[in-house]
Amino acid sequence: MSPPLMALQWAVNPGSGVPLPPRWGWYVILYFFVGGLAAGCYAIAAALDLAGEPRDRDTVRTGYLLALPGLLICTLLLIIDLGRPERFWHMLIKSKHVPALLLKYWSPISLGSWILAVFGLFAFVAFVGAVVDAGRLRWRAAERAVAGVRRLPSGVRVAWLALGILAGCALGGYTGVLLVGTTRPVWYNAIPLGGLFLASAASTSYALLLLLLLRRGRAAADPALVKLSDADGWALLIELALVVLLLLMLGAVARPIVSGVYGALFWIGVVIVGLVLPLLLHVRHSERSAFAGLRGRAVLVLIGGLVLRFVVVMAPQWPRVPPWHL
Amino acid sequence: MAKGFYTDTTVCIGCKACQVACHQWNGLPAEEPGERELTGDSYDNTGTLSALNWRHVKFIEQIPEDRHQNGFLDGSRWLMMSDVCKHCVHAGCLEVCPTGAIIRTEFDSVFIQTDVCNGCRACLAACPFGVVDIGSDGKAHKCTLCYDRLQHGMEPACAQACPTDSIRFGEVSELMALAEQRAADLGAHGIQAQIYGKDDIVGGLNCFYLLVDKPEVYGLPAKPELPSSNVAAALGGSAATAALLAITGAVSFRKRRMDDMSRDESAPEDEP
């Protein structure tokens, strides 16, 4: 005789037998944010370097000058996040078979380590070029190297910049894929997350470049700024569409990020402050946006980008990992 | 030559000898020595598998809602199960590990080389069973299937200590045949038992279970996933987004140029 329905049950600990949170905290959140900025600033600068006009030269130089310091901050954040920071190089090199290299392209975290390394090369070259261009580095070897690069056929330069843009896109997007490459509910199901983080990397980078150019006394109506502002509008629109797609795909699984305190942060910080308000401001003043309006919009976009990463990283780890976890 | 465990939960008596043997052999210290709080979950005060607990005996008390019983314990049930790393055929932790610290051994078990692990914690979120944990030493830890003992022809400590043979160690195919036979025997006595860990569960578990209730009742996922399942789709989505951003960026950059040219037709292109 089979036992009757056993409704009353002292079950196993609900925390057992479910994918654990990896205890990624603020180091990772800031890495995702700064990594997106470094990648985006480089890609935008390189695109304008390829297809822009002389008056974009300031934008290009600013983007190139931001990419390498941003990347160095990222590397530092990732290394201190490790349980054994002194073994950071194990990510790239087989520690038991030095100097054999290690790449598992199907593992986003392994792929990402290589993307960082490759992007670092592009960011370094761009940084040296920009510093020499600005006349800040009076070191003959560097100047000679830059002059040598200038003499290369333009096809080489175009190919180099195109590859650099690809590396930038890879860095901006893989961070979202890193979360998809887990079995943790919400992350595992969030297939559009790579695209969302990439769009956010683009929108925040446009915003940062706009802010810096405005600070340097450029007028909001300056064509070099207006084109950045237009492109930012598009990036925000794509980002909003991806947020909608993400929520539709997640359905009920989205609960940790759309309800409770994290939910409030998501709706107010990400959707309203980071996307809807800047888009409204953009549509209202699309042609001759006032200086203050443009600056305000850029600040909102940057806040939204940071809150997006905070909510997406921390909400699915709650309550095992508190929101202040480093 | 895949080695593994067959854990027959129907003969587990919850003595935790496996946990003790595991702690002793592997030199695992107690958590918060002397200050362990009681969980209130039946006889379970371990809670979950962790960096220090590579075996975890679970207790599930099933009692009718109205507490009605026909006689002593008739109509109620006390399930026990000794949980452990499943040493999956397709192991999520091994899949994502970026340092190569997690390897598959000659016994087809999944082993973490702690001298390689750098504590990135990707494996924590990759394991669909919540087995791998990070220790206070900053490195990932889990059951090794007593790799050191296997290399010397011994069976794992937990299996040797188990007094009811609920935990059996051996060749996975042979163990599976034993489990099938046991399930058939139980079925003949009117007890529904099923094997958890055949091919349908992430390609098979080298450490599998015989259960008499749904997997969820034992805190096992009914349909565990692999971390890589959605990665290709997510990468594709990123690529599509990159293309969209490139197009809209080009339009914004280009449109401005066109507007300027139409506004000031005679303006010459500045020299490059």
Q: How far apart are CA A263 and CA A25, in angstroms?
A: 18
Report if residue B74 sits inside a domain.
yes
By C-alpha distance, the chain A residue nearest B129 is A17
Look up residue B230 and give its DSSP letter: T
Cα of A8 to nearest chain B Cα, Å: 5
- The structural domain count of chain A equals 1
By C-alpha distance, the chain B residue nearest A222 is B256
Contact yes or no for B56 and A9 at CB 8 A: no
Q: Is the predicted pLDDT of residue A92 greater than 60, yes or no?
A: yes
Partners of residue B121 in chain A, C-beta under 8 Å: 22-24, 83
Instruction: Identify the CATH number of the domain in which residue A136 sits.
Output: 1.20.1630.10
By C-alpha distance, the chain B residue nearest A193 is B234
Q: What is the pLDDT of residue A244?
A: 97
Which domain range does residue B255 map to? Answer: 230-272
Report if residue B178 sits inside a domain.
yes
Dihedral Cα A112, A71, A194, A185, nearest 10 deg: 70
Q: Which of B218, B243, B263 is the last residue of a domain?
A: B218
Could you tell me if A311 and A269 are in contact, meaning their C-beta atoms sit under 8 angstroms apart? yes
Q: What is the pLDDT of residue A27?
A: 97
Contact yes or no for B241 and A238 at CB 8 A: yes
User: Within this chain, do residues B243 and B150 fall inside the same structural domain, yes or no?
Assistant: no
Q: What is the pLDDT of residue A166?
A: 97
By C-alpha distance, the chain A residue nearest B186 is A2
Q: For residue A2, name the pLDDT band (cuts at 50, 70, 90).
A: very low
Contact yes or no for B64 and A198 at CB 8 A: no
Report if residue B151 sits inside a domain.
yes
Out of B116, B139, B234, whose CB is closest to A193? B234
- Please enumerate in sequence order all residues whose Cβ is within 8 A of that of A186, keeping only pairs 6 or more positions apart, or say none: A250, A253, A254, A256, A257, A315, A316
Contact yes or no for B121 and A23 at CB 8 A: yes
Which domain range does residue A249 map to? Answer: 26-317
Q: What is the pLDDT of residue B196?
A: 96
Q: Is the predicted pLDDT of residue A115 greater than 70, yes or no?
A: yes
Backbone φ, ψ for residue B211 (5° rounding): -115, 155
Q: How far apart are CA A142 and CA A277, in angstroms?
A: 45
Q: How far apart are CA B172 and CA B107, in angstroms?
A: 10
By C-alpha distance, the chain A residue nearest B130 is A19
A 3-32: CB under 8 A from B: 3-24
Q: What is the pLDDT of residue B47?
A: 86
Q: What is the pLDDT of residue B262?
A: 65
Q: What is the pLDDT of residue B272?
A: 37
Report if residue B263 sits inside a domain.
yes
Residue stretches of chain B with pLDDT short of 70: 33-34, 36, 69, 71-73, 255-272
Cα of B91 to nearest chain A Cα, Å: 12
Report if residue B225 sits inside a domain.
no
User: Within this chain, do residues B116 and B246 fall inside the same structural domain, yes or no?
Assistant: no
Report if residue B223 sits inside a domain.
no
Q: Determine if residue B144 is left, alpha or beta; phi over 0 gives left, psi from -120 to 50 gives alpha, anything else beta.
A: alpha
Out of A5, A7, A173, whose CB is closest to B238? A173
Q: What is the pLDDT of residue B261?
A: 64
User: Within this chain, do residues B234 and B138 fall inside the same structural domain, yes or no?
Assistant: no
Contact yes or no for A5 and B64 at CB 8 A: yes
User: Within this chain, do residues B139 and B240 fall inside the same structural domain, yes or no?
Assistant: no
What interface predicted TM-score (ipTM) does this complex get?
0.92
Kindly state whether A162 is in contact with chain B, defined as any CB-CB distance less than 8 angstroms: no
Kindly state whether A288 is in contact with chain B, defined as any CB-CB distance less than 8 angstroms: no
User: Within this chain, do residues B256 and B192 fall inside the same structural domain, yes or no?
Assistant: no
- Please enumerate in sequence order all residues whose Cβ is within 8 A of that of B207, keeping only pairs 6 or more positions apart, or say none: B4, B5, B6, B7, B84, B85, B86, B87, B145, B197
User: Within this chain, do residues B177 and B239 fall inside the same structural domain, yes or no?
Assistant: no
User: Within this chain, do residues B98 and B213 fall inside the same structural domain, yes or no?
Assistant: yes
Tokens linked to B243 = 């293309």
Q: What is the pLDDT of residue B12?
A: 96
CA angle B234, A165, A269 (to 5 degrees): 55
Cα of B165 to nearest chain A Cα, Å: 22
Report if residue B138 sits inside a domain.
yes
Contact yes or no for B122 and A11 at CB 8 A: no
Partners of residue B251 in chain A, C-beta under 8 Å: 234
Report if residue A56 sits inside a domain.
yes
Query: Which of A9, A23, A105, A183 to probe the B interface (max B CBs under 10 A)?
Result: A183
User: Within this chain, do residues B97 and B196 fall inside the same structural domain, yes or no?
Assistant: yes
Q: What is the pLDDT of residue B71?
A: 66
Q: How far apart are CA A33 and CA B212, in angstroms?
A: 48
Q: What is the pLDDT of residue A219?
A: 84
Cα of A204 to nearest chain B Cα, Å: 13
Contact yes or no for A183 and B125 at CB 8 A: yes
Nearest Cα to Cα of residue B204 among B55, B85, B87: B87
pLDDT in tens, A19-56: 899 999 999 999 999 999 999 999 999 999 998 788 89
User: Within this chain, do residues B184 and B236 fall inside the same structural domain, yes or no?
Assistant: no
Strand ranges in B232-272 using DSSP code E only, listed in sequence order: none
User: Within this chain, do residues B202 and B255 fall inside the same structural domain, yes or no?
Assistant: no
Percent pLDDT > 70 in chain A is 93
Report if residue A324 sits inside a domain.
no
User: Within this chain, do residues B125 and B242 fall inside the same structural domain, yes or no?
Assistant: no
Q: For residue A292, name the pLDDT band (cuts at 50, 70, 90).
A: low
Q: How far apart are CA A167 and CA B253, in angstroms?
A: 21
Q: Specify which residues B205 forms β-bridges with.
A: B88
Coil vs helix vs strand at A196: helix
Contact yes or no for B241 and A177 at CB 8 A: no
Could you tell me if B226 and A107 are in contact, meaning their C-beta atoms sit under 8 angstroms apart? no
Kindly state whether A238 is in contact with chain B, defined as any CB-CB distance less than 8 angstroms: yes
Partners of residue A223 in chain B, C-beta under 8 Å: 256, 260
pLDDT in tens, A235-279: 999 999 999 999 999 999 999 999 999 999 999 999 999 999 999
Kindly state whether B240 is in contact with chain A, defined as any CB-CB distance less than 8 angstroms: yes
Out of B48, B119, B190, whose CB is closest to A2? B190
Q: What is the pLDDT of residue A324?
A: 95
Could you tell me if B193 and B23 are in contact, meaning their C-beta atoms sit under 8 angstroms apart? no
Instruction: Identify the CATH number of the domain in which residue B150 sits.
Output: 3.30.70.20
Residue A283 CB coordination number (10 Å): 9
Q: For residue A221, name the pLDDT band (cuts at 50, 70, 90).
A: confident
Residue B100 CB-density burial (10 A; 0-12 exposed, 13-18 middle, 19+ buried) = buried
Report if residue A74 sits inside a domain.
yes
Out of A165, A194, A233, whose CB is closest to B235? A194
Could you tell me if A293 and A285 are in contact, meaning their C-beta atoms sit under 8 angstroms apart? yes
- The structural domain count of chain B equals 2
User: Within this chain, do residues B191 and B264 fall inside the same structural domain, yes or no?
Assistant: no
Partners of residue A173 in chain B, C-beta under 8 Å: 235, 238-239, 241-242
Q: How far apart are CA B205 and CA B218, in angstroms?
A: 16
Q: What is the pLDDT of residue A3?
A: 47
Q: What is the pLDDT of residue B271?
A: 38
* pLDDT averaged over every residue in chain A: 91
Partners of residue B249 in chain A, C-beta under 8 Å: 44, 47, 202, 231, 234-235
Residue B158 CB-density burial (10 A; 0-12 exposed, 13-18 middle, 19+ buried) = buried
Report if residue B252 sits inside a domain.
yes
Q: What is the pLDDT of residue A128?
A: 92
B 39-98: CB under 8 A from A: 39, 41-42, 44, 47-49, 56, 58-65, 67, 75-77, 83, 92, 95-98
Q: What is the pLDDT of residue A8?
A: 64
* pLDDT averaged over every residue in chain B: 90
Look up residue B100 and give its DSSP letter: S
